A = this chain, B = another copy of it.
Amino acid sequence: MLKLDFHPAGRHFLQIPGPSPVPDRILRAMSYPTIDHRGPEFGALGLSVMDGIKKVFKTTQPVVIYPASGTGAWEAALTNTLSPGDAVLMYETGHFATLWKKMAESLGLKPEFLGLPGVEGWRRGVQADMIEARLRADTGHAIKAVCVVHNETSTGVTSDIAAVRRAIDAAGHPALFMVDTISGLACADYRHDEWGVDVTVSGSQKGLMLPPGISFNALSQKALEASREAKLPRAFWSWAEIVEMNKEGYWPYTPNTNLLYGLSEALEMILGEGLDNVFARHRRLAAACRAAVTAWGLEIQCVDPAVYSPVLTGVVMQEGVDADAVRKLIYERFDLSLGTGLGKVKGRMFRIGHLGDCNDLALMAALAGCEMGLRLAGVTLRASGVGAAMDYLAQHESAPRLKAVA
């Protein structure tokens, strides 16, 4: 028999940039008995989670919840709005932007990939001026959609989505605007309506603190209109029937009820804490983490402080050090999971997640594991990152602690 708890002595520290640790409240909520997805209680559950999730996206428009992982929501965004051969402008912020572009190709679209040369684009945010210039040049409006990643999970860069909106507007271009905030939602501020996003893609296993298995498309009226003309074949992902049935709190096919229980609990936790408090908590932990990396004398993958991610920090290894060997040592010695370097930066960096249900001491545990592991791996550290992070956290008070007892 396979044991499902793989970490016999003591709790495992899961500090990857998602899935993030699932709080006990959510795990308990998920373990309630499954109910009839056509019964009256289900409708109440459905309406409740749809109402809550709109607040997190800061939208009043429909948010489609898929019983699928985030990759599926990428596909849904594209197939609902576009037709075979459509040109799409995408921006290379890192590995996940690259995967989304590959998907667009697989689906028969014609993505054009903007970006800075070499790995430079993987260390900075979306350059809105490049998008604006490209759209201005597209006088025939061949480009049907602009697709960018809000928080690039592979690098730890959180791009300025409002700036991209302004760029599209400045170019007077009618393209749809699609944003992937799979790892950004409920960690960094995000404003679907205010920023004029047409489709926002997100997932459950990051800031929402759920296990993987739920993903989202937040829509705009323009996106819904586009979906009526779009010719890419689609069925499972098709918005029309879902949006219609969602009005009563139901789905055209079987939703994953138990993860919706988890979503209900997650929304209560997040909206209870307050979105602004959630964002501030993430920012503070990220700053402490960067203080550690800087003290160690290591480079942060993101080189533009304006777009440091509150979700994760990419730690660049010195020349000659294999980041994955360091990760493996830390995993085996200290029961700490860190994110691997992906794509162009494989072996060059590792990623520390500090998102979702994270707090000061969980971060300190992770940093202590990193510091011990780096030293054991023979990496020369300039100073104690743990000490620097403690200094930061001690000097910067967090939001007043929540009163759990009403």
B-binding residues in A (CB < 8 A): 1-14, 16, 18-19, 21-25, 27-41, 44-45, 48, 66-72, 74-75, 79, 84, 103, 106-108, 203, 205, 211-213, 232-236, 238, 252-259, 261, 264-265, 268-269, 272-273, 278, 281, 331-337, 340, 357-362, 364-366, 368-369, 371-372, 375-376, 384, 386-387, 390, 393-394, 397-398, 401-402, 404-406
Contact = CB atoms under 8 A, between A and B. Distances in A.
B268 A1 contact: yes
Between A21, A365, A371, A387, the greatest number of chain B beta carbons within 10 A of the residue's beta carbon is seen for: A365
Contacts of A278: 9
Contacts of A13: 361
A18 to B, nearest CB: 8
Contacts of A337: 35-36, 39
Contacts of A24: 5, 11, 31-33
Given A9-B281, A205-B34, A257-B19, A361 B386 contact: no
A160 to B, nearest CB: 26
Contacts of A106: 233-235, 238
Contact of A34 (B21, B67, B264): B21
A404 B212 contact: no
A372 B387 contact: no
B360 A335 contact: yes
B21 A6 contact: no
B357 A361 contact: no
B5 A39 contact: no
Given A36-B337, A265-B4, A366-B361, A405 B236 contact: no
Contacts of A14: 33-36
Contacts of A372: 390, 393-394
A334 B261 CA distance: 24
B254 A205 contact: yes
Contacts of A386: 368, 384, 386-387, 390
Given A8-B273, A44-B405, A232-B233, 9 more contacts: A2-B45, A6-B404, A19-B254, A41-B405, A68-B69, A333-B398, A361-B365, A368-B368, A386-B387
Contacts of A261: 4
Nearest to A13: B361
A273 B212 CA distance: 30
B233 A30 contact: no
Contact of A7 (B18, B72, B265, B404): B404
Given A2-B45, A71-B236, A9 B359 contact: yes
Contact of A22 (B34, B75, B254, B364): B34
A397 B333 contact: yes
A387 to B, nearest CB: 6
A254 B19 CA distance: 8
Nearest to A79: B233
A22 B11 contact: no
A72 B108 contact: no
Nearest to A359: B10
Given A30-B30, A386-B387, A2 B48 contact: yes
B236 A75 contact: yes
A340 B38 contact: yes
